[in-house]
């Protein structure tokens, strides 16, 4: 329900524009690697704009006033970058740090410092300028960078928690933590295989 007297279509316009532009730019990085016949640290990119109900729920939970919404809610526009390997995550972070069309304002490494749920991803909040007809509007964007295995776990865990509105019972919480570790073990073992193959190729 729209409890705020707000024109959401107008509000969301620059966020949709930013999401579309960033997706094109990030997919462009993948294309450039492919064109050079090189391994791309970016496997695929998705974007979403937070729903009105999710925005309203977070405003309540975080005591965010309507007039501070654009500044204080950093993930209204969310971009997700999926990678094949763990090392690719840090390569993507380096690529983002050197761009001059975005301004990184914070970084959180949940890859090496997993959340208590077992969640792993690298989060970056950045400012992105959108050129509107009469002005430039700087908006916040949250980019989550994660491997395919991390994405597999997070997608299923999110879907299970969505259907289960209460907190998970302790035994389920534990099982989910364990499955997150299994996903991470899979990432580690795929990275080892990749390194062994690279060494093998270099010897030939
Ligand atoms: P292509 O040519 O299929 O690669 P969009 O607006 O469609 O760019 P959106 O709406 O933010 O993106 O997200 P969506 O539709 O969920 O997925 C975005 C892109 O990610 C789509 O490709 C999907 O095919 C791709 N994708 C989603 N899940 C997977 C996955 O598990 N593995 C791989 N490799 N790709 C996935 P595009 O951009 O339409 O183009
Ligand atoms: P969505 O769009 O449904 O994914 P908060 O946003 O208040 O919860 P904070 O500290 O602002 O948290 O941001 P944080 O923790 O850096 O990032 C929050 C986002 O990270 C979540 O967004 C999820 O996308 C993802 N995330 C964090 N922890 C988990 C987790 O345990 N499981 C899963 N599946 N995802 C997680 P939202 O708000 O849930 O929105």
How many A from CA of 201 to the centre of ligand 2?
Answer: 40
Assess if residue 187 is contained within a domain. yes
Measured between alpha carbons, how far apart are the two ends of the chain, in Å? 63
Please list every protein residue whose CB sits less than 6 Å from any atom of ligand 1.
Answer: 23, 43-44, 46-47
**β-sheet with 103-109: strand ranges across:** 44-49, 77-83, 136-147, 122-131, 103-109
Assess if residue 18 is contained within a domain. yes
pLDDT of res. 112: 97
- Residue of the CA atom closest to atom 1 of ligand 2: 50
Ligand in closest contact with the CA of 64: 2
pLDDT above 70 (res 19)? yes
Longest Cα pair distance anywhere in the chain, in angstroms? 67
pLDDT above 80 (res 88)? yes
pLDDT above 90 (res 162)? no
Domain count, the chain: 1
Give the number of the atom of ligand 2 that is nearest the alpha carbon of residue 48: 2
Assess if residue 153 is contained within a domain. yes
pTM: 0.92
Question: What is the SS3 string spanning the chain?
Answer: CCCCCCCHHHHHHHHHHHHHHHHHHHHHHHHHHHHCCCCCCCCEEEEEECCHHHHHHHHHHCCCCHHHHHHHCCCCEEEEEEECCHHHHHHHHHHHHCCCCCEEEEEEECCCCCCCCCCCCEEEEEEEEEECCCCEEEEEEEEEEEEHHHHHHHHHHHHHHHHCCCCCCHHHHHHHHHHHHHHHHHHHHHHHHHHHHHHHHHHC
- Residue of the CA atom closest to atom 5 of ligand 1: 46
Ligand in closest contact with the CA of 83: 1
Q: Which residues are catalytic?
A: 142
Express as a percent the part of the chain with pLDDT over 70. 99
Assess if residue 58 is contained within a domain. yes
Angle between helices 148-163 and 170-203 (to 10 degrees): 170
Provide the residue range defining the domain that includes 121: 8-203
CATH of the domain at 83: 3.30.460.10
Residue 77 backbone phi and psi in degrees, to 5: -105, 120
- With the most atoms of ligand 1 within 8 angstroms of its CB, the residue from 46, 48, 144 to mutate is 46
How many A from CA of 45 to the centre of ligand 1?
Answer: 6
pLDDT of res. 16: 98
Assess if residue 2 is contained within a domain. no
């Amino acid at each position: 329900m729209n409890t705020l007297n707000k024109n959401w279509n107008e509000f969301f316009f620059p966020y949709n524009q930013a999401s579309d532009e960033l997706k094109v730019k990030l997919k462009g990085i993948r294309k450039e690697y492919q064109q050079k016949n090189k391994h791309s640290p970016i496997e695929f990119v998705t974007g979403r704009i937070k729903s009105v109900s999710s925005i309203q729920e977070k405003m309540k939970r975080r005591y965010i006033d309507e007039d501070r919404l654009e500044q204080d809610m950093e993930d209204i526009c969310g971009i997700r970058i999926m990678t094949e390997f763990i090392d690719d995550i840090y390569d993507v972070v380096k690529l983002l740090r050197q761009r001059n069309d975005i301004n990184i304002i914070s970084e959180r490494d949940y890859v090496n410092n997993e959340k208590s749920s077992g969640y792993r991803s690298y989060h970056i909040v950045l400012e992105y300028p959108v050129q509107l007809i009469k002005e430039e509007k700087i908006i916040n964007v949250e980019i989550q960078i994660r491997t395919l295995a991390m994405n597999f776990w997070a997608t299923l865990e999110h879907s299970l928690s969505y259907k289960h509105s209460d907190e998970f019972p302790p035994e389920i919480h534990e099982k989910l933590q364990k499955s997150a570790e299994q996903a991470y073990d899979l990432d580690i073992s795929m990275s080892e295989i990749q390194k062994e193959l690279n060494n093998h190729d270099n010897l030939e």
